[in-house]
Amino acid sequence: MVYRCGKCGKVVENLQERGTLRCPFCGHKMIFKDRPKVVKKVKAR
Ligand SMILES: [Zn+2]
């Protein structure tokens, strides 16, 4: 699962292994779930 910090906007991976939803960069507690970087190419017909 990939999370994104609501303050600094950095992507935090493997956050569940640490047991706390907290940004390791700025210490902010608001972490949002973020989808993995998957770019879907949509071809316009
Ligand atoms: Zn942060």
Residue 11 lies in a domain: yes
The answer to the question of residue 45 being in a domain is: no
- Ligand 1 center–CA 12 separation, angstroms: 9
How remote is the CA of residue 19 from the centroid of ligand 1, in Å? 16
Per-residue pLDDT, averaged over 9-25, amounts to: 75
**How many domains does the structure of the chain reveal?**
1
Counting residues of the chain whose pLDDT is more than 90, the rounded percentage is 7
Q: Which domain holds residue 31?
A: 1-38
Q: Is residue 9 a part of any domain in this protein?
A: yes
- Quote the tokens at residue 18: 């640490």
CATH number for the domain that contains residue 7: 2.20.28
Ion ligand 1: protein residues whose beta carbon lies under 5 Å: 5, 7-8, 23, 25-26, 28
Q: What is the pLDDT of residue 16?
A: 59
Q: How far is the CA of 31 from the centre of ligand 1 (A)?
A: 8
Nearby residues of 25 by Cβ (< 8 Å), 6 or more positions away: 5, 8, 10, 12
Calculate ∠ Cα 23-35-9, nearest 5°: 35
* Mean pLDDT value of segment 26-40: 77
Whether 3 shows a pLDDT value over 60: the answer reads yes
Asked if residue 2 belongs to a domain, the reply is: yes
Q: Are 31 and 15 in contact (CB under 8 A)?
A: yes
Question: What is the C-alpha to C-alpha distance for residues 44 and 37, in angstroms, rounded to an integer?
Answer: 21
